[in-house]
């Protein structure tokens, strides 16, 4: 067990709706990264939060947004859901010293999102 938790575990939404996914980082970690994993693919980096600020973003549109809270937990919000957003969403926590992290990222169990 990594100590990283995510909620909910499964979610079904319809096209056009909005969704919020949550992640609690491992104790002592100040950095949270979010990844999208489509079926049969490796995870793709969405963005990273370090000390409540966005610290890098992958090739995802602005309707993917996030937050990090003072306790370093994080939310991923997706607006105007599309069918292709159906995927496993993973968060990973780590410790960063001065922005970003060179260390191991520990993943949560993921949230499986199905968009109909």
Partner 1 sequence: SQQGEEDPQALSIQEGENATMNCSYKTSINNLQWYRQNSGRGLVHLILIRSNEREKHSGRLRVTLDTSKKSSSLLITASRAADTASYFCATDGGGSNYKLTFGKGTLLTVNP
Selection from 94, 78, 86, 107 nearest residue 32 by Cα:
94
User: Should residue 66 be labelled a site residue for partner 1 when binding is judged by CB under 8 A?
Assistant: no
User: Should residue 64 be labelled a site residue for partner 1 when binding is judged by CB under 8 A?
Assistant: no
- Nearer Cβ to partner 1 (110/115): 110
Selection from 79, 66, 60 nearest residue 31 by Cα:
66
- Closest approach, Cβ 95 to partner 1, in A, equals 11
DSSP H or E run through 32: strand 31-37
User: Should residue 11 be labelled a site residue for partner 1 when binding is judged by CB under 8 A?
Assistant: no
- Closest approach, Cβ 22 to partner 1, in A, equals 15
Residues 15, 79: contact at Cβ < 8 Å?
no
Q: Which of 15, 99, 114, 116 binds partner 1 (CB under 8 A)?
A: 99
Residues 85, 115: contact at Cβ < 8 Å?
yes
Bridge partners, 21 (sequence order):
76
Interface with partner 1 (CB under 8 A)? 2, 4, 33, 35, 39-45, 48, 50, 55-56, 58-59, 88, 90, 92, 96, 99-110, 112
């Amino acid at each position: 067990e990594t100590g990283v938790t995510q909620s909910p575990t499964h979610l079904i939404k319809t096209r056009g709706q909005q969704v919020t996914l949550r992640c609690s980082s491992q104790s002592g970690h100040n950095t949270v990264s979010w990844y999208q994993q489509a079926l049969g693919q490796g995870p793709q980096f969405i963005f990273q939060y370090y000390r409540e600020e966005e610290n890098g973003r992958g090739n995802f549109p602005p309707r993917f947004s996030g937050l990090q809270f003072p306790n370093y937990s994080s939310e991923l919000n997706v607006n105007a859901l599309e069918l292709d957003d159906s995927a496993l969403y993973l968060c990973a926590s780590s410790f960063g010293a001065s922005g970003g992290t060179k260390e191991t990222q520990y993943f949560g169990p993921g949230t499986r999102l199905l968009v109909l």
